Structure 1
């Protein structure tokens, strides 16, 4: 076994840097890549910095006008676009004599165009009706074409890969028949789920009738979904002449996004139908009568409106840079496959001490041939008992190592069902259980709903593969469990932690004062600021609340249980910054008043958290951040002064904004980040090296409410609770992310923290619950206080219990 791994390394050594000597290519492409390990190239390539420079230099040196005009700048645009069309055809080894380039907004738009324009013959006519056949291992956008065909009364037929592979073994002789009914067969050149490459020879075999699981007379055309394939492999349309080839350019270059193309074989182009016509597509038309004559060019006929001409011009520089950096697609194919082959070989050998595999790989090949396997590895991580660890947990752990992966079903439900053994009934049951495509519900009844995918691109390095394998070994194995699979001069795997990118924030780092913002000084000695708050509504209002509670709110509690009380209350005014610890605090429709009402955002308006900036923990919320009214505050910016300070402190442009706090609008109510039961004598430890103090656990989990309870985690069995005059509905468990790995005093990260929590909680990282306040009809908020008794209603026991005795008197609020 290890000899094959070593052979893989020796082969890989010859292609570690096929593009030339010097620094790894990733560092020449994007300076940010020295901080991360990007393994989602099947999702999107990353653009080189040299591409942006060449493109922006072009825009600075030339004036490009609308190509539909006739002036000089417009003529320049038109000619440049035509040159790019030629460059695309050249890249795919064909010419304008055989293919036409139609620019679209992406691969999905290209597929939609085919479905709408194909010359379908519907059922019910005198001729044989058309069929749309597609491989079940197809992207959602291909399967979605059946919606359009159904509206045209054309049947769609899903074909499983094994069915066409069986047909391939039993090829039929080419049939001669007079039927000219057009049919369309679609399949991916490369599965975006597993990386399986389906034979390009199918194109010709399907056209001539030698290969077809359905014996339907007619003329077959082939749609080759090449979006995944062309990102890392050469496609020769001079040899494999599919009729339609949709592509997305960001899969190849990373930039521009929102631009794709449909390559149309000129033999089918005259048959395509067009009902809508947009600007630039008409040779002549009448506004007052139903008269329209299209442009002669197929491209102009189907490119409605003004094409995205600046993005198209960027493609020219994309091809230039790609050729300059790599030497062409054949070298990219060799390089990316070598990385995938090596990673697959090592990954498939990893085992626990009991012999159980660490991962389950979903593949149709053994990664021995780049002609049948692309640089994609799809898998699920297993525990020692062979049970799947949910993909969202793996994703969270990978983020701690700055490894970017893709999880879920990857817009390919057919392949996901096939490889994971998910039935049609399972899909429907999972939907009823609340799972939808793209969410983080990774397990339903213990069974996986998706998997983890890593994929390599032309800028990927051998170090990327090593970093990923180190991550798997470090998080799933210890040196006492297994030995490193091999040692060689080419590579050496260890379980050493990958260095953190963010430096520790030490006590020597000082915050500069913020002028005109606050009269309170920033504190530097603790991550939690304590303050005493006396916040009460007018007495008459308070009395009416108490009266209403006494008449309608009957407290419930565990039968025979010991008292549960609130021990700590924390308010986090700025998301991801430090907290105020208070003895009492008002609670409104949106949770604790002012809790997480402010956030720091980047120049694009995206919230910044400790995941990206651990230094936020060193910022203590101010007593007065923005001028606001008492209760109703619209979302607004907090001004240039504090924005400049945050930008200077974090080293990049950012601003402080305030979220809406409309307490009267129940549709905007938020959950309180809830209730955690920490035991003072708890033996539950989240660190295998040394137990953490309760205070440290509280800081890391950033709860609003902390309670003392006889049993750990018993809050997860509650349906609702009463605390004094307050009623809360339990909204569900709180799934933890990598922020709990950040020491809230030093800013240092402990990668094993999240993993330990996952192991302790049975492969999930739930800790604590979310609460939703059920406010009484009052214009004033209720008050939550430390020392109040917590009275829960259990999920499976809604029996009303007697009120507490005088010795268990509840807090009056």
Structure 2
């Protein structure tokens, strides 16, 4: 079949093609149930969602939450440091949970101690701070801290504590550890007792590689040494990733320290972990700081402190998170009841990973080129060497890597949840992606930091894509993912290569309908990230009323400027503002301009009960909320189907005394609530508690974009609730080209599947122009519209919000997918504009019909 013809990607292979992968079934009570049945019973909230980030955080079942809530409703749990009856109940319950944890890891209180922490990171820090390091001196080399480079950031960070103790830290590459020759334990100096520490992961959180548990005994006995130094070796086994889907038997392998995070296993509670410490090592640990509950006796006025004899109590500073610890009991119960134990989970998740890996590795383009590059140290032959994690990058048919950010955006269109980046494991990321230390430093200098979406610099990837399975994952999840990869890759035009981004693109970020400029380090998710912002600096309202009163306020039936075959002169055909962020557009033919952009553009936003902004990504029905502004009556009327219209004043006589702290991207902004009436109106429409908030007029938020040509360094453009830029301009010729591509690919013969007006509304621009050739606007450096002059900040890098039909709220991924195919990785469409300093002593207006005069980059006037 020709590339790019089929409507859907090729169907994934049948699971039966891989008989060596056991059939994924889990135990439910005393009889077997399929994962699909389990999903329906316990994870109904996943309907329509493919969740493949279990290595990041697995999900809790409904029965676990119900059981825990019932426990809290029926019992009174007091602070375990008190002596009353409720406190005794808490203490005893917590101790039972400690036993339950040790049983889960096949050990006993005679061999291991459970110290509760806030997570595996805190457990690792505890090891670093309490380990009996011996500082380097002229007489001896002191202790050594060695760690596998394929380790989580939290392990690597231990070297900072070691350095403060004048202890040498040595990174060890996996291949060096693999090839390290075993030596006779008797060859070491038995009299030297200088303690050294080696840390490695039982399972790489990057690739899922499982490192031999036998290393624990080999290193401790001296038969395999990370470095050749005399002394006594201790081993820390980072088990956080491993134990999420596998059984760890501490009776067979006995590391000295085992950090874990419980949300990796149960999904609930979060923020709770533990350090399992061998009782043979516990007496060597050194206590520095002491907090409440850790002291048997101390004096406030004298250096006198006696720690508690219990090692756990000695290191659990302050009141432990006792309700979260009690929740673990219900996590163990649910896990055993629903799955039959960790062995079943391990078999099930590996079977899915093996199947998905085999099918993914077999995907090829028509020219024979592979669709993905998989980063793995194994062939997924056995769960002994490989966990249920697949790490990869998607390739185009020319072999170039498609940035992980682009893949992530496409996945969200199909409601597939995965993870991208380096996963807090830079060592593994460098090793598998071939990134030298110099490259990583250069990427940072180009603006890339951990956790952003700068995915390609100088043609090299900065990270990758990771999927991972949990016990509630199904075969249907795996096949939906494979179908998605086939669709986005094998349906691109044959031979098309996506352009590479240079390091100059490193500061650019994706956006939604609300304006983003290519600013480094700024959130890429406009409507999601913000809560309110500075109030628009309005022009004198009374002075503008005489001109504005005759302006048609809405043109609901007017089509967005459609070309009639003749480019003609550059003119403005449509003007839109969006009074409420992420809600419907308000179209005008002439409108006042303020210091922040169009008057009242993005001055309000809808937030949930927690004060977090709602966007169309989470709530597509926002586009059905239609605001109308009446400048003469100084009100905004809000309408929606099935609802009585409601009025909101444009300006309060005096702002409420209570100012809310909100956020728009990375910026803190001051807002105030618009009242209970409109809150009830919105809550009724959306079926959940909502509020309307407005930017505070006395709060000024400056744009962080570097001043462009013609602007002095002291010029600070101010913003409303837009993310960065004051205006967004879209060229109708560019829309027409996209429309033709979309309708040409429609195999059902529907005429005008996507109209120009529909597409224009999805891009949610302020200024629509005609007269330029397709995408000519991307060469503009400045532009004048009538008497107003603007700097062009750069292209708008689109996100999934353009997939939402602004008339119905329905999603359709075709627009983003086609734009991705035709425009390249960053999916550019539309240009950001910012005006310079304005003289607002007299009213300024932006009008339909105004001539557009662009200045091309380094070329002069167009």
Same fold (TM over 0.5): yes
Residue 630 of structure 1 deviates from its aligned partner by 7.4
1:210-225 correspondence runs (5 A): 210-225=223-238
Alignment correspondent of 2:337: 324
Distance 1:603 1:179 in 2: 62
Give 1:741's match in structure 2, choosing from 803, 820, 830: 803
Distance 1:724 1:255 in 2: 59
Range 673-682 or range 750-759, more displaced: 673-682
Residue 473 of structure 1 deviates from its aligned partner by 1.6
Give a deviation string over 1:30-50, Cα, whole Å, max 9, x none: 221122111000000111111
Residue 680 of structure 1 deviates from its aligned partner by 7.9
2:668 matches 1:655 = no
Give 2:44's match in structure 1, choosing from 31, 36, 43: 31
Q: Secondary structure at the match of 1:315?
A: helix
Distance 2:734 2:306 in 1: 82
Give a deviation string over 1:546-576, Cα, whole Å, max 9, x none: xxxxxxxxxxxxxxx9853322211111222
Alignment correspondent of 2:213: 200
Q: Secondary structure at the match of 1:45?
A: coil
CA RMSD between the two structures: 2.8
Alignment correspondent of 1:548: none
Alignment correspondent of 1:520: none
Alignment correspondent of 1:449: 462
- Structure 1 residues 440 and 681, CA gap change in structure 2 (3 angstroms): closer
Q: Secondary structure at the match of 1:776?
A: coil
Give a deviation string over 1:459-518, Cα, whole Å, max 9, x none: 111111111111112222259999xxxxxxxxxxxxxxxxxxxxxxxxxxxxxxxxxxxx
Distance 2:204 2:228 in 1: 25
- Structure 1 residues 176 and 769, CA gap change in structure 2 (3 angstroms): same
Q: Secondary structure at the match of 1:666?
A: coil
Q: Secondary structure at the match of 2:391?
A: strand
2:305 matches 1:288 = no
Give a deviation string over 1:420-450, Cα, whole Å, max 9, x none: 1112121122112211111111111222111
Alignment correspondent of 2:725: 671
Alignment correspondent of 1:511: none
- Structure 1 residues 375 and 660, CA gap change in structure 2 (3 angstroms): farther
Alignment correspondent of 2:313: 300
Range 143-152 or range 403-412, more displaced: 143-152
Alignment correspondent of 2:576: 570
| Structure 1 contact 195–375 (Cα < 8 Å) conserved | yes
| Structure 1 contact 441–449 (Cα < 8 Å) conserved | yes
| Structure 2 contact 15–355 (Cα < 8 Å) conserved | no
Give a deviation string over 1:653-705, Cα, whole Å, max 9, x none: 32222234557443663413511222189444341216633222211111112
Residue 290 of structure 1 deviates from its aligned partner by 0.9
Distance 2:734 2:362 in 1: 43
Distance 1:453 1:288 in 2: 54
Residue 602 of structure 1 deviates from its aligned partner by 2.4
Q: Secondary structure at the match of 2:648?
A: coil
Distance 1:781 1:200 in 2: 74
2:841 matches 1:787 = no
2:151 matches 1:159 = no
Give a deviation string over 1:764-789, Cα, whole Å, max 9, x none: 31111222332236477743222333
Alignment correspondent of 1:707: 769
| Structure 1 contact 137–161 (Cα < 8 Å) conserved | yes
Range 752-761 or range 326-335, more displaced: 752-761
Distance 1:583 1:481 in 2: 43
Distance 2:601 2:857 in 1: 28
Residue 638 of structure 1 deviates from its aligned partner by 2.2
2:648 matches 1:626 = yes
Distance 1:192 1:41 in 2: 11
| Structure 1 contact 632–662 (Cα < 8 Å) conserved | no
Give 1:15's match in structure 2, choosing from 2, 21, 24: 24
Range 599-608 or range 232-241, more displaced: 599-608
Distance 1:99 1:593 in 2: 66
- Structure 1 residues 138 and 730, CA gap change in structure 2 (3 angstroms): farther
Runs of 4+ that moved beyond 6 A: 2-5, 479-482, 533-537, 630-633
Range 679-688 or range 211-220, more displaced: 679-688
Distance 2:698 2:596 in 1: 8
Alignment correspondent of 1:438: 451
2:134 matches 1:98 = no
- Structure 1 residues 680 and 128, CA gap change in structure 2 (3 angstroms): closer
Residue 452 of structure 1 deviates from its aligned partner by 0.8
Distance 1:41 1:263 in 2: 23
Distance 2:50 2:541 in 1: 52
Distance 1:664 1:576 in 2: 21
- Structure 1 residues 607 and 663, CA gap change in structure 2 (3 angstroms): closer
| Structure 2 contact 493–821 (Cα < 8 Å) conserved | no
Alignment correspondent of 2:586: 580
- Structure 1 residues 140 and 593, CA gap change in structure 2 (3 angstroms): farther
2:382 matches 1:369 = yes
- Structure 1 residues 588 and 412, CA gap change in structure 2 (3 angstroms): farther
Residue 85 of structure 1 deviates from its aligned partner by 0.6
Alignment correspondent of 1:419: 432
Residue 762 of structure 1 deviates from its aligned partner by 2.0
Q: Secondary structure at the match of 1:363?
A: coil
- Structure 1 residues 52 and 630, CA gap change in structure 2 (3 angstroms): closer
Instruction: Calculate the TM-score normalised by the size of structure 1.
Output: 0.85
- Structure 1 residues 172 and 166, CA gap change in structure 2 (3 angstroms): farther
2:205 matches 1:189 = no
- Structure 1 residues 723 and 196, CA gap change in structure 2 (3 angstroms): same
Q: Secondary structure at the match of 2:611?
A: coil
Q: Secondary structure at the match of 1:610?
A: coil
Alignment correspondent of 1:594: 600
Alignment correspondent of 1:770: 832
Distance 1:424 1:738 in 2: 34
Give 1:726's match in structure 2, choosing from 761, 783, 788: 788
Residue 632 of structure 1 deviates from its aligned partner by 9.5
2:127 matches 1:114 = yes
Unaligned runs of 5+ in 2: 1-10, 496-537, 548-566, 630-635, 637-646, 656-669, 704-717
Range 652-661 or range 194-203, more displaced: 652-661
Alignment correspondent of 1:74: 87
Q: Secondary structure at the match of 1:165?
A: helix
Alignment correspondent of 1:514: none
Residue 381 of structure 1 deviates from its aligned partner by 1.1
Distance 2:80 2:458 in 1: 57
- Structure 1 residues 736 and 214, CA gap change in structure 2 (3 angstroms): same
- Structure 1 residues 42 and 681, CA gap change in structure 2 (3 angstroms): closer
Distance 1:680 1:268 in 2: 68
Give a deviation string over 1:174-209, Cα, whole Å, max 9, x none: 534111111111111111110000111001111111
Residue 213 of structure 1 deviates from its aligned partner by 3.6
Residue 343 of structure 1 deviates from its aligned partner by 0.5
Distance 1:639 1:479 in 2: 50
| Structure 1 contact 534–584 (Cα < 8 Å) conserved | no
- Structure 1 residues 593 and 324, CA gap change in structure 2 (3 angstroms): same
Residue 80 of structure 1 deviates from its aligned partner by 0.7
| Structure 1 contact 674–705 (Cα < 8 Å) conserved | yes
Give 2:490's match in structure 1, choosing from 474, 477, 485: 477
Distance 2:200 2:477 in 1: 31
| Structure 1 contact 5–342 (Cα < 8 Å) conserved | no
1:511-530 correspondence runs (5 A): none
Give a deviation string over 1:723-764, Cα, whole Å, max 9, x none: 344343333321111111122223332222211101101233
Q: Secondary structure at the match of 2:845?
A: strand
